[in-house]
């Protein structure tokens, strides 16, 4: 997602791994953008938001209603939290700019209040009301709940690289228990948190905000949400920026394998930098040798976890998560070097802290609902990557070819949607969005979570897309220090002129 520090990068909704998001197919009744709003939905489109101050200076908050089930809108409603910061001027107001940091499961309201409405370039904030809605099932919008804090602690510590049938059984049981917890606590909402549902919610919000077209910046999974909106409502799509793009044409297995390769690319970049430094804990050899050293350390932790100063020791699963967390932004590399050095010396506190940030675990042991919403959305959007452990074992060589460091773990965690209680409603498919206004797709060449090839693919699918490339490290590009990227996107948002296709920045 678009973030300003390593910590914010992790918390803004970063997950695809484990049950990657792909394409949800819109229902035929919703696929044409110019159809009149169905009679059953007109009350939602006609609602008036009651804005109030909400504790953060300069921001207003409101609650919007949407149908829980768009196929049966008369049945029941869902309440969605909305927040905005009005355009500051000078200059003519251009309407609302909806933002989403991705995940799925990242809080858009948390993002707009903590960063977008204060950190986006001033000319953009001057002309647009900065707006966010937490998607259904996320944060303030009737969040999906699954496990207690202690149960989630146990879940995150399960060995994700099983060595035998017994360990495989424990991993499968953990996925089943996670799914059962979600069904127990959130059964009513689980079938209704797909990306298509959230895109349809965004169209209601567009109307109640008084905007003829939707202007939008989405990062990571937020690109899939934005592309889905353009597919459903091409005629209502305004200026859409899709940064750190996903490829909706891929299966869950292919998405997970591609992301495995993406994290390997990011690790190679980190390792190439690390081995040149005196404080590198992975030696002074080649990046591949550094990778072997790290994998060897993970194997050591699998057999002998190290203490952390807490009741949770650092074993392989949490250590791997901590390293992954630091791959999202190169500003986190110094912290990773320090944390690895400490862990290899017998103190796992630093890597545990990185893993806790990734999982959005608070100091009191509670968790935000990021991981729960992430699974709930992803497991609806695509059929599961695998039907069971035997398929994982067959696919292991291809995952390990994608990454010697992360391949095995990524393959096994792709089982998490296999046991999900709500069946998938989406399928992989190309999104063309014919008739939409120009769309800007942004890709970063060494992006770990959304590999650059996905941006090229999505830009090739969308009928009106322009590809903007950032040659660099980290997840997403807008607002991360490239004047070239920021100028191109600002010009598009403010003037409607997209950059030339295939423009490259560094």
- Mean pLDDT over all residues of the chain? 93
| Angstrom distances, CA of residue 57 to CA of 53, 88, 112 | 8, 13, 13
pTM as predicted: 0.94
Question: Which pLDDT band, with edges at 50, 70 and 90, does 35 fall under?
Answer: low
Q: Mean of the pLDDT values across residues 486-496?
A: 98
pLDDT for the residue numbered 5? 26
Q: How far apart are CA 454 and CA 451, in angstroms?
A: 6
- Catalytic-labelled residue, pool 20, 220, 331, 339: 220
* Residue tagged active-site, from 83, 153, 243, 475: 475
Show the CA angle centred on residue 505, arms to residues 503 and 506, nearest 5°.
160
pLDDT on residue 10: 33
Report the pLDDT averaged over residues 234-247. Answer: 98
Q: Where are the domains of the chain?
A: 6-144+192-249+434-505, 149-189+252-417
Q: Is a pLDDT exceeding 80 seen at residue 1?
A: no
Of 279, 273, 241, residue with least CA distance to 455:
241
For residue range 60-101, what is the model confidence (pLDDT) as tens digits?
999 999 999 999 999 999 999 999 999 989 999 999 999 999
> What tens digit of pLDDT does each residue of 297-329 get?
999 999 999 999 999 999 999 999 999 999 999
pLDDT in tens, 46-64: 999 999 999 899 999 999 9
Alpha-carbon 159 to chain mean position:
24
Q: What is the pLDDT of residues 165-196, one digit of tens each?
A: 999 999 999 999 999 999 999 999 999 999 99
Mean pLDDT on 338-355: 98
∠ Cα 101 104 110 (to 5°): 40
Hey, is 315 helix, strand or coil? coil
pLDDT in tens, 257-280: 999 999 999 999 999 999 999 999
CATH number of 6-144+192-249+434-505: 3.40.50.1820
DSSP 114: I
Taking 50 as the threshold, does the pLDDT of residue 8 lie above it? no
Identify which of 431, 452, 435, 434 has the alpha carbon closest to the alpha carbon of residue 443. Answer: 452
Check if the beta carbon of residue 459 is closer than 8 Å to that of residue 503: no
The answer to whether the bond into 285 is cis (omega within 30° of 0) is no
Among 302, 447, 473, 486, which one carries the catalytic annotation? 447
Q: What is the pLDDT of residue 55?
A: 87
Q: What is the pLDDT of residues 394-432, one digit of tens each?
A: 999 999 999 999 999 999 999 999 999 999 999 999 999
What confidence score (pLDDT) does residue 341 get? 98
pLDDT, position 16: 38
Residues 132-155: tens digit of each pLDDT: 999 999 999 999 999 999 999 999
Distance (Å, whole) CA 321 – CA 336: 12
Q: Is 475 a catalytic residue?
A: yes
Helices 370-381 & 195-208 angle (0-180, nearest 10): 110
Residue 25 has pLDDT above 70, yes or no: no
**What confidence score (pLDDT) does residue 40 get?**
95
């Amino acid at each position: 997602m678009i973030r300003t520090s390593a910590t914010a990068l992790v918390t803004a909704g970063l997950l695809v791994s484990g049950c990657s998001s792909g394409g949800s197919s819109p229902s035929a009744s919703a696929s044409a953008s110019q159809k009149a709003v169905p009679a059953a939905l007109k009350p939602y489109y006609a609602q008036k938001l009651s804005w109030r101050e909400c504790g953060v200076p300069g921001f207003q908050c409101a609650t919007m209603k949407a149908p829980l089930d768009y196929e049966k809108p008369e049945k029941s409603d869902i309440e969605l939290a909305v927040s905005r910061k009005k355009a500051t001027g000078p200059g003519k107001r251009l309407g609302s700019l909806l933002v989403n940091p991705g995940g799925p499961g990242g809080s858009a309201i948390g993002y707009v209040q903590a960063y977008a409405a204060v950190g986006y370039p001033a000319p953009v904030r001057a002309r647009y009301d900065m707006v966010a809605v937490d998607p259904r099932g996320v944060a303030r919008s009737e969040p999906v709940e699954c496990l207690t804090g202690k149960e989630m602690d146990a879940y995150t510590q399960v060995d994700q690289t099983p060595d035998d049938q017994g360990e495989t059984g424990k991993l499968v049981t953990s996925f089943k228990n996670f799914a059962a917890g979600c069904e127990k606590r959130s059964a009513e909402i689980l079938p209704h948190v797909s990306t298509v549902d959230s895109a349809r919610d965004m169209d209601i919000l567009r109307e109640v905000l008084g905007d003829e077209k939707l202007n939008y910046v989405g990062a990571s999974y937020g690109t899939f949400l934005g592309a889905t909106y353009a597919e459903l409502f091409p005629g209502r799509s305004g200026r859409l920026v899709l940064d750190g793009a996903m490829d909706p044409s891929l299966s869950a297995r292919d998405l997970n394998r591609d992301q495995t390769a993406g994290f390997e690319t990011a690790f190679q970049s980190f390792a190439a930098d690390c081995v040149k430094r005196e404080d590198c804990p992975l030696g002074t050899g080649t990046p591949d040798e550094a990778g072997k050293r790290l994998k060897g350390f993970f194997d050591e932790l699998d057999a002998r976890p190290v203490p952390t100063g807490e009741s949770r020791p650092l074993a392989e699963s949490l250590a791997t998560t901590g390293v992954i967390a630091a791959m999202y932004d190169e500003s986190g590399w110094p912290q990773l070097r320090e944390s690895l050095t400490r862990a290899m010396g017998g103190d796992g506190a630093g890597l545990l802290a990185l893993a806790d940030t990734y999982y959005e675990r608070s100091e009191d042991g509670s968790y935000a609902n990021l991981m729960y919403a992430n699974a709930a959305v992803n497991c609806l959007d695509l059929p599961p990557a695998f039907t069971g452990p035997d398929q994982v074992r067959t696919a292991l060589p291809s995952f390990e070819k994608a990454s010697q460091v992360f391949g095995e773990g990524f393959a096994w965690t792709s089982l998490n949607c296999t046991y999900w209680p709500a069946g998938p409603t989406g399928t992989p498919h190309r999104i063309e969005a014919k008739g939409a206004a120009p769309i800007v797709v942004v890709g970063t060449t060494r992006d770990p979570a959304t590999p650059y090839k996905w941006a090229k693919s999505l830009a090739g699918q969308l009928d009106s897309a322009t590809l903007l490339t950032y040659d660099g490290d980290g997840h997403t590009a807008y607002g991360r220090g490239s004047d070239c990227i920021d100028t191109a996107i600002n010009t598009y948002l403010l003037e409607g002129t997209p950059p030339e296709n295939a423009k490259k920045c560094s």
